[in-house]
Structure 1
Amino acid sequence: MLRFDPFSDLDALTRGLLSSQTGSNRVPRFMPMDLCKIDDHYVLTADLPGVDPGSVDVNVDNGTLTISAHRTARSDESAQWLANERFFGGYRRQLSLGDGIDTGAISATYENGVLTVTIPVAERAKPRKVEITHAGSQASISPTTVDAE
């Protein structure tokens, strides 16, 4: 199960408000992502347009999933910019994983600028039906009449 971390969202908002620079020192402000549960696994999709696939890193350490990537800036210094709105630099996003996750089976793919991370639920955390067994045969009790004398 994934745990909600409101402080990471607050931290991202604060960084966005405090780093509202313009010019060439701009860095990415966020990594938009979706997270859903399908059957016995979670699926995380994150938009990383223009990111070199070799720079994408997915890491699990001590119950924390970390996604990082890097988009390089254009190296054409002779360009005369008319608009320069695209961000470049490092992206990083962290999620706390619950105890019911099979961290050894997490997998990821990157295609067309979208990172997809599959996070399976551990076998021990999956719902299961408990079978009820019946203890040996019970002796039947039949009514008897008592003679009154």
Structure 2
Amino acid sequence: MLRFDPFRDFDAMTRELLGTQAGTARAPRFMPMDLFKAGDHYVLHADLPGVDPGSVDVNVDNGTLTLKAQRSVPSDEGVQWIASERFAGTYMRQISLGDGVDTSRISATYENGVLSVTLPVAEKAKPRRIEVSSLSSGQKSIEPDTSTVDAESES
């Protein structure tokens, strides 16, 4: 049975230009993620469906958070591929962290194909209230010491 596929020629041309063939390992193009702030921490969720949890690597170096994961390629011996659209290989994403993240307290979990990374806000970056005092409340004001200025101008 022959079916008309209007994209067959386009797909063939793309495979030739990019050097990909059906049934071969294709490098993942991206790692979709969400990043949001909740209270005193940031939360990053990255989609990694089908990734072996043991291959997930999260590290931080010099203010850069690096997420890596490996998705294995199934053996294609004796297999005739009809369609091969799922990416296999290494996924990697890097995110620059500002000074406002406490890198020593970063934690990560991987469940149901989603990597969750918690990035706590550093104490120095948290908002704080600054007490404003009034001079009329009995506090002494600091006056410049003019005695040394007068003594220097006399000499």
Whether these two folds match at TM > 0.5 is: yes
Q: Secondary structure at the match of 1:86?
A: coil
Equivalent in the alignment of 1:95: 95
CA–CA distance in structure 2, aligned partners of residues 36 and 119 of structure 1:
10
TM-score with structure 2 length normalisation? 0.73
- Matched with 1:115 is 115
Bigger relative contact order, structure 1 or 2, given CA contacts below 8 A and separation 6+?
Answer: 1
Q: Deviations over 1:70-117 (max 9, x none)?
A: 000002411121111111000000000001110000000000000000
What RMSD, in angstroms, separates the aligned Cα atoms of the two structures? 1.7
Q: CA deviation at 1:43?
A: 0.5
The equivalent residue for 1:21 is: 20
Structure 1: gaps spanning 5 or more residues = 1-17, 139-149
Give me the identity figure in percent: 67
Distance in 2 between residues matched to 1:113 and 1:46, nearest whole Å: 9
What's the secondary structure of 1:93's corresponding residue?
A: strand
Q: 1:20 to 1:128 in 2, by over 3 A?
A: farther
Asked if the contact 2:25–2:73 (Cα under 8 Å) also holds between the matched residues in 1, the reply is no
Question: What TM-score comes out, normalization by structure 1 length?
Answer: 0.75
Query: Compared with structure 1, are the counterparts of its residues 81 and 127 closer, same or farther at alpha carbon in structure 2 (3 Å cutoff)?
Result: same
**Secondary structure of the corresponding residue to residue 104 of structure 2:** helix
Question: Aligned equivalents of 2:105 and 2:18: distance in 1?
Answer: 37
Q: How many residues align?
A: 121
**Structure number with higher helix proportion:** 2
Post-superposition CA distance 1:100-146 (Å, at most 9, x none): 110000000000000000001100110000112344528xxxxxxxx
